[in-house]
Structure 1
Amino acid sequence: MSHHRLVSSLLCCALALGLAGPGVVVAQTAPAAAAALPDFTGIVEKNAPAVVHVEAKYTGRRPKGGSAAPMQGQGPDADQMEILRRFFGMPMMPSPEEQAHTSLGSGFIISSDGYILTNNHVVDHADTVTVRLQDRRTLTAKVVGTDPTYDIALLKVQAGGPLPTVSIGDSRLLKPGQWVLAIGSPFGFDYTVTQGIVSAVGRSLGAGDQPSTSFIQTDVPINRGNSGGPLFNLQGQVVGINSQIYSDTGGYQGVAFSIPIDVAMNVVDQLKTKGYVTRGELGVMIRPVDDDIVKALKLDSAKGAIVVSVSPGTAAQKAGLQAGDIILAFGGRPVEQGSDLPPMVAMTKPGTTVPVQIMRDGRDKTVQVTIGTMPRDGNPFASANKPAPSSGTDALGLAVQGVDPDTRRQLGLQPGEGVAITDVTGSVAAQAGLQPGDVILMVNQQKVGSVAAFRTATAGVKPGDTVLLLVRRGDSSNFIALTVPPADQNNG
């Protein structure tokens, strides 16, 4: 044995026996580190009886978008079966509209009389829903109500006696780095326990995917079948409903999303009392404040949400909000980024008067807004997160004229509102997507209703400046930031 290997072996033995001496601390820190790790056994033993396996049976094709799915390895999918039926002489094979399917998920009991929470996409379009308890009893569940916007469903079972329940926590107290635990039925394997930490809170998944929900992001392993199951904190309280994963493959890749339990319980109360869910509506289209807007308006930071347009007759219009206002806080809560605002508004009870802090013309101002009611099939916000076009005067490579009466009528514009682009001569404006026919409503938050007003607003534009325009195309408006290039580059 070499001298090096002998020393290594002796050191390992010394560490194992705790005899390494004062200069070696590994043997002392390992037990300490192990002791610091949480023990989840108590949480699991107490709460597992209140977690259920959910099975929903339905016939025909389901709408796409649900993340719950049958277990893998159950034969051809609906599209494959349809190909076999049509092209390979199998007339007795049922069509996709005639086939029976099963969706698997999880849920948890919130009251001893049998109310159960799960995801809407687990039971969507189900003909029958059953739940299996930890004691192996299988009960038929009634769907009391669903809310697709928040992806929540409330079920009810009759068990002939009180059922075990979970404890409800406060998801608003969660912080990144805290331990959390999930119990569910991934791939149909009942009462599977996984753990991890909170990766982020207040996470938005974008305008097209539940914009009203501010998700809890975790690294807890969540897979198909976990949908609808509970997320626990270290106090054994439910703080979220496991809902989605972010994955290129359909399997867990370290990013999972849960619906905050305070959102879910608000839905439960409304489904029990009136059978549907109402959400607050502000009545504005917004977009995030990005670096171009910061530069154009000479802001200190990119915080807040900038108002692109205000819908007539809405809470925002009645409170005097205007296009170009930057919303900095809502109900005393700061709006750090544009995606923060829709969940805040949606969770506000219609009819509530809320202070809204805005920046207008470089000055902060607070307006009182009485929140309206969002249409039941609507969205509290239309988010203008799409790539934006740009504009300018000669320096920006644009020619404009007054808006003709027919165009004004088609766009719903008032007299003296906006100028129409007649020609795009600058390369920067063209690359930004501006087109003849677009109507410019504002320049750096100043309204322009005539060619003279437009020229005045852009008179001081010089190379290197960033100009912020509010542009109307069709029935939508958007803010467009354009940085003016050197004169010899604009026509290239």
Structure 2
Amino acid sequence: MKPAARPIRTLNALVLGAALAMAQTGIAVAQEQTAPVEATPLSFTALVESVSDAVVNITTSTTVAASPGPAPMVPEGSPLEDFFRDFMDRQQGNGGRPRRSQALGSGFVVSGDGFIVTNNHVIDKADEIMIEFFDGKELEAKVVGVDTKTDIALLKVKSDKELPFVQFGESAKMRVGEWVMAMGNPLGQGFSVSAGIVSARGRSLSGSYDDFIQTDAAINRGNSGGPLFNMNGEVIGVNTAILSPTGGSIGIGFAMSSDVVSKVIDQLEKFGETRRGWLGVRIQDVTDDVAEALGLKSSAGALVTDVPEGPAKAAGMKAGDVIQTFEGAQVEDTRDLVRRVGNAEVGKTVDIGVLREGSEQTLKVVLGRRESAEDTATPAAAEPAMPAESTVLGLDVTELNADLRSQLNLPDGATGLVVKDIAEDSEAYEKGIRAGDLISEAGQKKVSTVADLEARIQDARDAGRKSLLLLVRRDGDPRFVALNLDK
């Protein structure tokens, strides 16, 4: 059952009342149009009471193998010899048997039949998971499924009666400055509540699918996996991490947004695993200089650097394409594209709008499954080339031959120009190009000879471009670099 929302008085009503009173006493009041501002809640009591029964403490037990380590070096006959012998005997017990280790965390019930959400790191490698409810009742939980990429786990308990539960809200509707409340088991102290505001949205820590809400509501160790509520009693985030030099809360906490978590939970409940869409491309952000080199009006979109075997290649996508739309929605950058593809259904045919050599095209791509393609290798392809050397755009480049392919561990079919030397004060060095890099494209066309590169430079100048886009590979990983033609 969805908890009732607690009404909040707005500051506008208070201001209006004060203005009327001042006007009656002859005091002039300057009228100013302001946006509605919510006042501090008089109390969080009703909110706490409406959701507490659905928040749980989690205790995990894990068997840890014995690791006695080296014995301390004590001279024979030393007065401390007996002391250290007794100490080591207590540490190793009977033959150094494995010991049990416990950890604490938080979670919340999302269905009356016993599904519980928490962080994966709370229950990772646990042999036993015990759930303690607000009324003191304890039940053992089993793992339904986990997602390491978002650090989310779904558990299940068996209960002889329907359990109180909470619902997910829409994290995308939360605004910076709105009130939120965190609940959990901080530092093993049991059920605890803290309140604060949304400090920021759309934070990314380390994962491809990160979408964290930052809050100043106190979050400490043990809060992991607990809910972050909006003022309607809906879960808009799962408390996951803190930024702290001390290990305690300093007002910078992160909760994985409910818009991400709810989709993960749906898949874990249905399949026991995640099934994310997969496009099969390598991409990079479109920087301002790359946009200029491509003649783009803005730096929005995702630039395709490589297309290995996969859904995108089967649909005709090419390196150098700029992905601008996905299913009709504008693509802001690589992070935005990864999220949209990951949230799409595996096997679905999607429309992807690309810009290729100034022309807009729509490709129909049948999405694969990300989890099945994690270790897909990227093949390199091209034609053989004749050796030659030259200095172009401040780079000493040489054409590939068999010896260079062997030295750089390149496949037999690889082509391009190898950077032989580069000045450390050059623009190319500043942008990360190094000796040993392979330039496989210039101006979005393959280059295998110095003449090819010089022709691409002239084409760019003839078209009024200020920079030239190079596709540079290092250890098989491609990226685009724009170099100024006037330097």
Deviation, structure 1 residue 430: 4.2
Structure 1 match to 2:483: 482
- Report the more deviating stretch, 327-336 or 402-411: 402-411
User: 3-state DSSP class of the match of 1:91?
Assistant: helix
In 1, distance between residues paired with 2:477 and 2:51?
Answer: 50
User: 3-state DSSP class of the match of 1:168?
Assistant: coil
User: In the alignment, is residue 263 of structure 1 matched against residue 264 of structure 2?
Assistant: no
In 2, distance between residues paired with 1:227 and 1:233?
Answer: 18
Structure 1 match to 2:285: 288
Structure 2 match to 1:228: 225
Q: 1:19 to 1:215 in 2, by over 3 A?
A: closer
Q: 1:327 aligns with which of 296, 316, 323?
A: 323
In 2, distance between residues paired with 1:315 and 1:232?
Answer: 39
Structure 2 match to 1:446: 445
In 1, distance between residues paired with 2:330 and 2:211?
Answer: 14
Q: Deviations along 1:426-483, whole A, 9 cap, x unmatched?
A: 7413454434432211223232233221110123778x94332111122211222334
Structure 2 match to 1:305: 302
Deviation, structure 1 residue 22: 5.2
Q: Which runs of 4+ in 1 moved over 6 A?
A: 81-85, 379-382
- Report the more deviating stretch, 404-413 or 370-379: 404-413
User: 3-state DSSP class of the match of 2:88?
Assistant: coil
Structure 2 match to 1:418: 416
Q: 2:333 aligns with which of 317, 330, 337?
A: 337
Cα contact 1:240–1:260 (8 A) shared by 2: yes
Cα contact 1:398–1:426 (8 A) shared by 2: no
Structure 2 match to 1:143: 143
Cα contact 2:392–2:454 (8 A) shared by 1: no
In 2, distance between residues paired with 1:271 and 1:33?
Answer: 39
Cα contact 1:214–1:343 (8 A) shared by 2: no
User: 3-state DSSP class of the match of 2:350?
Assistant: strand
Q: Deviations along 1:218-250, whole A, 9 cap, x unmatched?
A: 333222111111122222112221112233332
Deviation, structure 1 residue 58: 1.5
Cα contact 2:346–2:367 (8 A) shared by 1: yes
Deviation, structure 1 residue 134: 0.6
Structure 2 match to 1:52: 56
Cα contact 2:441–2:472 (8 A) shared by 1: yes
Cα contact 1:396–1:426 (8 A) shared by 2: no
- Report the more deviating stretch, 142-151 or 94-103: 94-103
In 2, distance between residues paired with 1:333 and 1:211?
Answer: 19
Structure 2 match to 1:389: none
User: In the alignment, is residue 278 of structure 1 matched against residue 275 of structure 2?
Assistant: yes
User: 3-state DSSP class of the match of 1:166?
Assistant: coil
User: 3-state DSSP class of the match of 1:336?
Assistant: coil
In 1, distance between residues paired with 2:168 and 2:239?
Answer: 15
Cα contact 2:180–2:230 (8 A) shared by 1: yes
Deviation, structure 1 residue 406: 6.8
Deviation, structure 1 residue 106: 0.6
TM-score, normalising length from structure 1? 0.77
In 2, distance between residues paired with 1:432 and 1:140?
Answer: 55
Deviation, structure 1 residue 420: 2.5
Amino acid at match of 2:297: D
Cα contact 1:374–1:380 (8 A) shared by 2: no
Q: 1:218 to 1:426 in 2, by over 3 A?
A: closer
In 2, distance between residues paired with 1:218 and 1:418?
Answer: 49
Deviation, structure 1 residue 83: 7.8
In 2, distance between residues paired with 1:94 and 1:211?
Answer: 43
Structure 1 match to 2:7: none
Q: 2:342 aligns with which of 346, 364, 368?
A: 346
User: In the alignment, is residue 243 of structure 1 matched against residue 240 of structure 2?
Assistant: yes
In 2, distance between residues paired with 1:362 and 1:249?
Answer: 53
TM-score, normalising length from structure 2? 0.78
In 1, distance between residues paired with 2:207 and 2:288?
Answer: 26
Cα contact 1:60–1:97 (8 A) shared by 2: no
Deviation, structure 1 residue 186: 1.5
In 2, distance between residues paired with 1:142 and 1:182?
Answer: 25
Deviation, structure 1 residue 485: 6.7
Amino acid at match of 1:43: L
Unpaired runs of 5+ residues, structure 2, are: 1-17, 30-35, 75-83, 379-388
Amino acid at match of 1:244: A
- Report the more deviating stretch, 363-372 or 125-134: 363-372
Deviation, structure 1 residue 57: 1.7
In 2, distance between residues paired with 1:363 and 1:35?
Answer: 52
User: 3-state DSSP class of the match of 1:366?
Assistant: strand
Deviation, structure 1 residue 180: 2.3
Sequence identity percentage: 39
Deviation, structure 1 residue 413: 7.1
Structure 2 match to 1:66: none
Q: 1:109 to 1:433 in 2, by over 3 A?
A: closer
Aligned length: 432
Deviation, structure 1 residue 163: 1.2
In 1, distance between residues paired with 2:283 and 2:260?
Answer: 23
Q: 1:480 to 1:247 in 2, by over 3 A?
A: farther
User: 3-state DSSP class of the match of 1:265?
Assistant: helix
In 1, distance between residues paired with 2:307 and 2:97?
Answer: 43
Q: Deviations along 1:14-69, whole A, 9 cap, x unmatched?
A: x9xx99955498xxxxxx988564753222111111000111122338xxxxxxxx
User: 3-state DSSP class of the match of 1:458?
Assistant: helix
Amino acid at match of 2:457: T
Structure 2 match to 1:187: 187
User: 3-state DSSP class of the match of 1:169?
Assistant: coil
Q: 1:406 to 1:349 in 2, by over 3 A?
A: farther
Deviation, structure 1 residue 166: 0.8
Amino acid at match of 1:468: L
**Aligned-CA RMSD value:** 3.6
Q: Deviations along 1:156-209, whole A, 9 cap, x unmatched?
A: 22232221111232334334343322211111233322223333433332xxx2
- Report the more deviating stretch, 40-49 or 86-95: 86-95
Cα contact 1:284–1:311 (8 A) shared by 2: yes
Q: 1:232 to 1:369 in 2, by over 3 A?
A: same
Deviation, structure 1 residue 325: 1.8
Q: 1:226 to 1:326 in 2, by over 3 A?
A: same
Structure 1 match to 2:9: none
User: 3-state DSSP class of the match of 2:454?
Assistant: helix
In 2, distance between residues paired with 1:102 and 1:335?
Answer: 45
Unpaired runs of 5+ residues, structure 1, are: 1-14, 26-31, 62-77, 383-391, 487-492
Q: 1:268 to 1:36 in 2, by over 3 A?
A: closer
Amino acid at match of 1:469: L
Structure 1 match to 2:386: none
